[in-house]
Amino acid sequence: MKAVQITSFGAPDVLRVNDVDRPAPGPGEVLVSVEASSVNGHDVIVRAGELKMVSGRRFPIGVGLDFAGVVVATGADVAGYRAGDRVWGMVHPRHRHTTGGAAEHVVVSTDRIAHAPAGLSPVDAASLVVAGATALIALRDSVHLAGGERVLVRGAAGGVGTAAVQLAHALGGHVTALARDRHAQLLTDLGADEVLDYGSTTSGQIGPFDVIVDTVGSELNCYRSRLAKGGRMVTVGLSAGALAAIAASSVYGARRIRTFSANPDTAVLRDLAGHITSGALRPVVDSVYPLEDIAAAHEAFERGGVVGKHVVAVSA
């Protein structure tokens, strides 16, 4: 089978589409024929070698966190899934040696998948696994957004950002989206009450906010200062500078900068599907690339300006 692998750290051109043996599911696992996967920031920084402490230096490393596809085989002790079921899910970031989601087949534990929402194409489903789950965990579990609170979504036009705008609106927040001015109409359609152009708006000009969801990972202290009394902030844009700011912010107690590792389990994926079924959350796909062009997808991600998600179509 075909699988995208990293055999050395570096730029997108280190990505290789290699022929590998098809894996077999063990106890509690299923084998999924992957139809689509998406490009996530985690994939990019692992490929660049910025997470060696997590990914390790043992090659090859599989590429792709998320996937949507069809169950083709089950291991022992699997209940609730059978061949032919359409599923979506996420490969654990530490379990991606040889293959990840960007492969024709992937083996995954049943606690990291759920039945895919009815009516979504594989491309649309793959676009929402990591982005949607990250936004949901951030808003619901990390900062506990309550109805009527003022929420800022920074980097609102990206994958996590577009999901966060929609979910914050669905949870009853008054949503301010910070993004490029040309995305104002899209973000308004997704539920933003106000859209600010990040090119002409500084952190000192806005707020205060009860909740800030940051997807960028820079100027974190400047934005943290725009929290209202009792406000909470979470960032999913991690870098060395961001980690330092997060650690330093602990002196502010409840008004510190929070972060988390988005590893959605079945329960989160089911909750996410509920928001999709209710109409509160819809996919936003920037572009779709064939598996063979995944390097181009990574290049496009790194150029920035993405609206929603770049998705890799693995099979028809």
What average pLDDT does the structure give for the chain?
94
Q: What is the mean pLDDT of residues 124-141?
A: 97
pLDDT tens digit string along 181-220?
A: 999 999 999 999 999 999 899 888 999 999 999 999 999 9
Please name the helix (run of DSSP H) or strand (run of DSSP E) that holds residue 243, with its range, or none: helix 240-248
pLDDT confidence bin for 54, thresholds 50/70/90: low
Whole-number CA gyration radius for the chain: 19
How would residue 95 be classed by pLDDT, with cut points 50, 70 and 90? low
Residue 314 zone, left/alpha/beta (φ > 0; ψ -120 to 50; rest): alpha
pLDDT value of residue 237:
84
| pLDDT surpasses 60 at 316 | no
Per CATH, the number for 130-258 is 3.40.50.720
* 3-class DSSP state of 314: coil
Of 204, 244, 241, 245, residue with least CA distance to 226: 204
The pLDDT of 153-162, averaged and rounded, is 97
- Length of the chain (residues): 316
Phi, psi of 114 (to 5 degrees): -155, 165
Domain segments of the chain: what residues? 2-120+283-313, 130-258
Predicted pLDDT of residue 238 = 75
Hey, what are 123's tokens? 């491309």
Of the candidates 109, 48, 122, which has an alpha carbon nearest to the alpha carbon of residue 298?
A: 48
Of 65, 146, 178, 152, which Cα lies nearest the Cα of 112? 65
Residue that the structure tokens 């008054």 belong to? 174
Indicate the pairing of strand 29-38 with strand 86-90.
Answer: unpaired
Q: How many other CB atoms are there within 10 angstroms of residue 179's CB atom?
A: 25
* Architecture of the domain defined by 2-120+283-313: Alpha-Beta Complex (3.90)
> Could you tell me the pTM of the whole model?
0.95
Q: Is the pLDDT of residue 96 over 70?
A: no
Q: What is the pLDDT of residue 97?
A: 63
Across the range 7-27, mean pLDDT stands at: 95
Give the per-residue pLDDT at 94. 67
Rounded Cα distance between 239 and 55, Å, is: 15
